[in-house]
Structure formats: structure tokens, C-alpha cells
Amino acid sequence: MIIACASCGEKLGDRTPHATCPKCDGLLNITPASPPARGEALQKLFDTRASNHAMCGTPIQQSGVWRFRELVLPTDDASIVSHPEGNTPLLQRGVVSHYAGIDSLRMKHEGHNPTGSFKDRGMTVALTQARRCGATAIACASTGNTSSSLASYAAHAGIPALVMVPVGRISMGKLAQTVAYGARTLLVRGDFDDCLRLVRESAQSLGVYLGNSLNPFRIEGQKTIIFELLQQCGWNPPDWIALPAGNLGNTSAFGKALREAHELGLISKIPRLLSVQASGAAPFAHSFAEDFANRHKVRAETIATAIRIGDPASWDRGVAAIRFTNGVVAAVSDGAIMEAKSVIDASGVGCEPASAASVAGVKALIARGVIKSGESVVTILTGHVLKDPEKMLVSDTNSPHLHPNPPIEIDANLSAVERVLKSAAN
């Protein structure tokens, strides 16, 4: 494994306590060592592990991250901090495909991870590296899911956690979870971008380990969303993979995973990435529209708090991912996000608002003719339906796709129940 700065080329040891370049503060890039096999033999190694350890075995054997350990972080078992995580389902619901306007839309539901979002896939690796480098504390800035995940994995590792979130701009579900897992939680008077600046300064001057997705080990773990998805497709990739994009950690991880899977002969065709932003937080989409000529920053505003980010940290890696996959970046309105969420929720699948941006983006691109209705698409549902309960009981537009379903208060007798059943049948 080689860890090197993408800006100045500085090389670091594999137990480095630095999550960004100590010389120039640039992003670090990890090149995994060559695995023991390639192509079909490597597929077989991963497939055998998946079928042997689906339910039994140690947490590490069961993990959908550490199943791919040669491509993630080769290390001794004793260092690994795993719940386990991963092994998320690939779902298909006719109503959602129909809504998007496509024959086959599959949804990989990362909300099925232990703390309810894909962040666990990166966090198991970040906390493992924190242990390997002897970190005495770990910190992150967060819109909520990173902090929940970091708090949980830090508790598991026995490493104190410090979390910075924008005051008043994080959902109650995520805040409650972070506090419950025991992280020291700071409500910062500012937005996410202020929190990230503060946590980077703390990492530099106070010596705490940085847990944000700037940390290259987070990216290595998040690659396994793609490896596992390819495995679930029998190593036969879809035409498109759509995901919501905020700080661009996941977009970067997906690009890196597809590049490595292709180089190792795990796949022969490269799916196109569709990164979807909320239109009130779309600096990456604006830049894509001008072929990435300029880097943009905005004051972010959207109902989808997990992607309410105005100055994405993994910008250069994100650009590389879109270029490598011949990808597309789109922006969708909050109304379109909530409408898609309503359809996903009413199908029984459910997800948090940011996740629904991926489906809204697919629908928009089909309408524009960029995605053809016969193409195969997998969208990533990044977070669980319970993450953002405040948004569930409100509806402020009158789209025919919204399914307002207010609870009904009744007297405690059978005829009241009967009246409700009758009106539901009509």
C-alpha cells in the first residue's frame, strides 16, 4: 500500500496519524498493494467469502467491507473495528421504477448499515486506522450521519470522539444517536463548512485524528459499496449508478472503486456515475455544466440536510471520478426530492431526503433523454427513513405523487375503527 499526497507527492507511512498531507494540507491518495489474484480468481475469492460467512463467522468474516480487505486495508484482525457492516440489500419496486420512467431501477439500501447510513463503511476503516496509528481521540464535522457513525465506531474502539455539527441544522434523529453513543457533541454557530474548517484546524493544532471523508481510509471503506454492488450483480455492472452528492467523498470512492475493479479485471465495462445535488447546494453541478473549468462555493440551502454542503472537500477526487466514468452531475429541486422520497417511502422501502435525490436525478435524466428507459440503473439509498423524521409528516406541495398520510385520532371503540376501514375502502 502506498499513501501519497495528490498535490505535492509527499509519501507517508502506512500507520500515519495524518489524514491530510502534513506538508501542504492536500488530499492523500491510497494505492492498494496488488491482491493475491485478479479477474475471475479474485471474484471467486470474494464470492466464496460471501457465501461461507453470510450469517456465521466472526464480525470481520461477516462484514461486507472486510470481505474485500485486500482492496481496503490489509491489516491484522486484532486492529479491525467492525460491527459488522455492509451486506446491504439490492431492492426493486415496480412503483419506483415506474415513477422514474425506467424498466428496471434497483436501489441499494445503505440505510441498512448498523447506524443507518453508508458512513459506517468508511468509519470501520477510519477507526481501524485510528487504532493502528495510536490515536488518542478522533473528531469530525458532520451534517449528522458522519457524527452518528463516528460516535458508534469510536465507542466500539474505546477512543474518545469529538463531534462538531451546525447548531439548529441537524435532524433530531441524528443528533440523538450521536449523543446516545457517547460522543462529545459541539453545536457550532455556523454551517457545515464552518464545522469542517474548525475540525481541520483542531486536527492540525490539537493532534486529534480527523474522521471526515478527507481521510483517505474513509474512501477506501466506501469503495466497498461498489464492490458489493458489482458482486450482487454477478460482476455484470449496470449501465448507470446514481448517488446523492454533498462533500463528494462517496462520488470519489465510487470512481476509485470502479477504476480499481476495472484494472483488476473484476469488471470489463465501466458504469457511468450520476452524482445528484440539491439545487440549493449544487456547486459541483454548476461546475460540471462548464466542464469543470471553475471550482464553485455556495451558501448551501436544502431540505436534504445530508447534502447541505456549499464547498465540497473532495472536489478534485470527485472531478476525477466523473471524468473517469464519463459521468454526469445533475441538480434537482427540494420539491423533486420530496416527491421521490414520498414514492420510495410509500413503496415500503423508505429513505431519508438526501437519498431520494438519487431517484429524482434518474427521473430528471430520463426526461432529458440522457438515460434511456431500457438502460439498467442502480441508485444508492444512502440513509434510513428514520434519520429525518421531522420531514415525514409535512407536505407543502400538491404533487399527485405525494402521499400525505396523516395519522387519525379516534375514540377507543370498534365502530370508530369500522368507520376508518370503510372510508379507506372508498
Ligand X SMILES: *Cc1c(COP(=O)(O)O)cnc(C)c1O
Binding site for ligand X (CB under 6 A): 117, 119, 145, 213, 244-251, 306-307, 352, 354-355, 382-383
The beta-carbon contacts of 294-298 under 8 Å, at least 24 apart in sequence, are 297/193
Is residue 307 part of the contact set for Zn ion (CB under 5 A)? no
| CB of 425 vs ligand X, minimal distance in Å | 37
Task: Decide whether 212 or 275 has the Cβ nearer to Zn ion.
Answer: 212
Which positions ≥6 away from 157 have C-beta within 8 Å? 81, 127, 130, 131
Task: Decide whether 6 or 402 has the Cβ nearer to Zn ion.
Answer: 6
Q: Which residue, 237, 391, 232, 377, is CA-closest to 306?
A: 391
249 binds, among ligand X, Zn ion, none (CB under 5 to 8 A by kind): ligand X
Query: What is the SS3 assignment for 242?
Result: strand
DSSP string covering 273-307: EEEEEEGGG-HHHHHHHTTT-S--------S-GGG
Dihedral sign for Cα atoms in the order 256, 262, 267, 271: positive
250 binds, among ligand X, Zn ion, none (CB under 5 to 8 A by kind): ligand X
Residue whose Cβ sits closest to ligand X: 383
368 binds, among ligand X, Zn ion, none (CB under 5 to 8 A by kind): none
Which three cell numbers, joined as nine digits, stand for 174? 441524528
Task: Decide whether 342 or 355 has the Cβ nearer to ligand X.
Answer: 355
Among 13-21, 32-40, 153-161, 343-351, the segment contacting Zn ion (CB under 5 A): 13-21
Do residues 231 and 225 make contact, with C-beta atoms less than 8 angstroms apart? no
Is residue 24 part of the contact set for Zn ion (CB under 5 A)? yes
Task: Decide whether 43 or 191 has the Cβ nearer to ligand X.
Answer: 191
333 binds, among ligand X, Zn ion, none (CB under 5 to 8 A by kind): none
Is residue 204 part of the contact set for Zn ion (CB under 5 A)? no
- Euclidean distance between CA atoms 22 and 296, whole angstroms: 25
Burial of residue 179, with CB atoms counted within 10 A of its CB: 0-12 exposed, 13-18 middle, 19 or more buried:
middle
247 binds, among Zn ion, ligand X, none (CB under 5 to 8 A by kind): ligand X
Do residues 129 and 150 make contact, with C-beta atoms less than 8 angstroms apart? no
| CB of 216 vs Zn ion, minimal distance in Å | 12
Residue showing cell 462520488? 251
Task: Decide whether 75 or 212 has the Cβ nearer to ligand X.
Answer: 212
Q: Which residue, 16, 136, 18, 128, is CA-closest to 72?
A: 128
21 binds, among ligand X, Zn ion, none (CB under 5 to 8 A by kind): Zn ion
| CB of 355 vs ligand X, minimal distance in Å | 5
Q: How far apart are the first and last CA of the chain?
A: 64
Q: Which residue, 373, 372, 375, 344, is CA-closest to 358?
A: 344
DSSP classification of residue 20: B
Do residues 312 and 212 make contact, with C-beta atoms less than 8 angstroms apart? no
Among 9-17, 253-261, 320-328, 355-363, the segment contacting Zn ion (CB under 5 A): 9-17
* Single residue of 3, 12, 19, 21 touching Zn ion by CB under 5 A: 21
5 binds, among Zn ion, ligand X, none (CB under 5 to 8 A by kind): Zn ion
* Single residue of 4, 7, 70, 395 touching Zn ion by CB under 5 A: 7
**Partners of 29 in the beta sheet?**
4
Task: Decide whether 42 or 313 has the Cβ nearer to ligand X.
Answer: 313
| CB of 279 vs ligand X, minimal distance in Å | 15
Task: Decide whether 75 or 222 has the Cβ nearer to ligand X.
Answer: 222
Is residue 8 part of the contact set for Zn ion (CB under 5 A)? yes
Which three cell numbers, joined as nine digits, stand for 322? 466523473
Q: Which residues bind Zn ion (CB under 5 A)?
A: 5, 7-8, 10, 21, 23-24, 26
